Structure 1
């Protein structure tokens, strides 16, 4: 064998694995992996979901009202104002079976009739309550519309949402690659629009006053294993926080990403959510942890303020040197270690 042939063979041996490593996982490849390791997502109709209530000062808005502020706004964008925070007729669906937990959220950003076929965003969290593996799916942005077109006629037709790994949809229905965004775009994160994993830093499902109204329609796994699979999410390694005798970790874990930047403050009256009205900014709605809160504000402060402040101090402990702060890798296997 000539030297040139040997060199080419050597280059080929190294180049092929490198090309495979840099290949961006497609939607269908990711969806196949998720179906194989967690379970398949069935087709569904967003209009079959349960309405997430919207109220202003305890009353639902009128039939043609689209309030900018409300008692329990959506926290899909927890730190910045966004369309749809107080728009009626967004819906939630629980498509779970056995250990395969599937939560679908169909969001309205503009006012439409309850059973209109159009939505502005469809999000699915797919989680296995046994092995902890989790996948994230989000619809592509709606196609741009001209100013002459009515906003209510825009959006995504979501009366048959395709399974993310579906190759051949029924005639006249969108394919998976037409409907769903790529895993790389779902995993991308910015300061204004953090990725799913950064917000869902303590577990696959987040409680808020908004989603808490339909919490019986949401699967939960607050203490189970939890890890995001797929190439696009491989760089995320979540940590949980605790301090000695902390009252905030009795019902669920506390993460160190958006729990620090948003949810610790929002759930304890230290931050005001965009979309909050007067009622939402007053006690007890601005203190929504613990979820069964029935105490006076003075009683709440006595029971919880020290624990909240301790966790917020841990949020500032980037070097993990505070002896009162324990940081633990998210449990995704039997090997769990703590950092103090």
Structure 2
């Protein structure tokens, strides 16, 4: 065999595994990895969740009202106005067991009755409080305003659904598409898997938390994302949780300290105390809050702007991530 042909044959043999390595991880492959390394996500009914309250000046909206502004809007999209920020009857479910922490958010972008089975979006965070590994799942976009039947949300790794039920590969978006969103899950959840906001804080007892635990995003689509936290000496803002260097810098620090107005905020939400929602148990006057926290907020924002990491008062550290230790589920 001529040398050129032998080289071509060798190249073709080598190209197959290289192409396989470059191939995107499928939904089922990603979901299987998450189930194996974190824990299984069960099937569930969105209507089994807890309503996330919507109020306007302290009162629920009228029965047929679809408000665009409210006291505590959803911050699923912290930078822009989107449908559903103040629509009633979105729900949260805590599906956790043992070290496997699972939060499921069933979102309505269109006004429907409380127990209507149709929803517009389902998002899941699954996190292991021992090894810190975390996965993200988002439903495929709903068609128009009809939404989809969420009486049985399929486990993302389910290969064959029951008769008449949607398959996982039809219901869930691929991991590559979820990871490519801007802002992405890891960018918003830059300090830990679960984020407090006035909206979700109303049902915080239904949300698993792990503010100081190990934290890393697994799966090929998310593996390149490296999470970093920021601290300054004696900072009052880091007593309860870490501060991330991504969306925390560009949105959440300002939103929680009255420096930014959240999309969907009404006039009440833009006034103290609702405009200052950190610490979560804030019962201070505005003057007391300023005295206790303004310097810490300004120090963190200065670090956020320190792109070259030259400010001696700023510490930038990777989030403690997964280890090879064995943890029970």
CA contact 2:131–2:323 (8 Å) conserved in 1: no
Q: RMSD between aligned alpha carbons?
A: 1.4
Q: SS at the partner of 2:221?
A: helix
Give runs of aligned pairs for residues 41-120 of structure 1, distance below 5 A: 41-120=41-120
Could you list the runs of 5+ residues in structure 2 that have no partner in the other structure? 325-329
**CA shift in 2, pair 1:98/1:272, >3 Å:** same
> 2:198 maps to which residue?
209
TM-score by length of 2: 0.96
Q: Which residue of 1 aligns with 2:149?
A: 157
Deviation of 1:13 (Å): 5.0
Equivalent in the alignment of 1:36: 36
1:1-340, aligned counterparts within 5 Å?
A: 3-4=3-4, 6-12=6-12, 14-144=14-144, 151=145, 154-190=146-182, 194-333=183-322
Q: Distance in 1 between matches of 2:162 and 2:13?
A: 43
What's the CA shift for 1:330? 1.1
Q: How far is the alpha carbon of 1:17 from its aligned partner?
A: 3.3
* Residue 21 of structure 1, CA deviation: 2.2
- 3-state SS, counterpart of residue 310 of structure 2: coil
Q: Report the Cα distance in structure 2 between the residues aligned to 1:14 and 1:127, rounded to whole angstroms.
A: 37
Match of 1:147 in 2: none
Once the 2 structures are TM-superposed, how far is the Cα of residue 8 of structure 1 from its aligned partner?
4.1
Give the drift of 1:63.
1.0
1:295-323 deviation line (CA, Å, top 9, x unaligned): 11111001100000000000011111111
Alpha-carbon distance in 2 for matches of 1:161, 1:93: 12
Deviation at 1:36, TM superposition (A): 0.6
- The count of residues paired between Structure 1 and Structure 2 equals 324
Contact 2:133 2:322 in 1 (8 A): no
Give the Cα separation in 2 of the matches to 1:156 and 1:131.
Answer: 34
Worse-matched range after superposition: 63-72 or 47-56: 63-72
Question: Which residue of the partner structure matches residue 327 of structure 2?
Answer: none
Give SS of 2:105's match.
strand
Cα drift, residue 14 of structure 1: 3.2
> 1:243-296 CA distances to partner (integer Å, 9 max, x unpaired)?
000000000000000000100000000000011111111100110000111111
Measure how far apart 1:18 and its partner are. Answer: 1.7
Aligned-partner Cα distance in 2 for 1:86–1:161: 23
* SS state at 2:86 partner: coil
Q: Is the 8 A contact 2:132 2:321 kept in 1?
A: yes
Q: Which moved more, 1:40-49 or 1:326-335?
A: 326-335
Q: Which runs of at least 4 in structure 1 moved beyond 6 Å after TM superposition?
A: none
The alpha-carbon distance between structure 1 residues 247 and 334, as it changes in their structure 2 partners (threshold 3 A), is farther
Measure the CA separation in 1 of the matches of 2:303 and 2:323: 25
Q: Deviations over 1:211-246 (max 9, x none)?
A: 000000000000000000011111210100000000
Which has the higher mean CA deviation after the structures are superposed, 135-144 or 104-113? 135-144
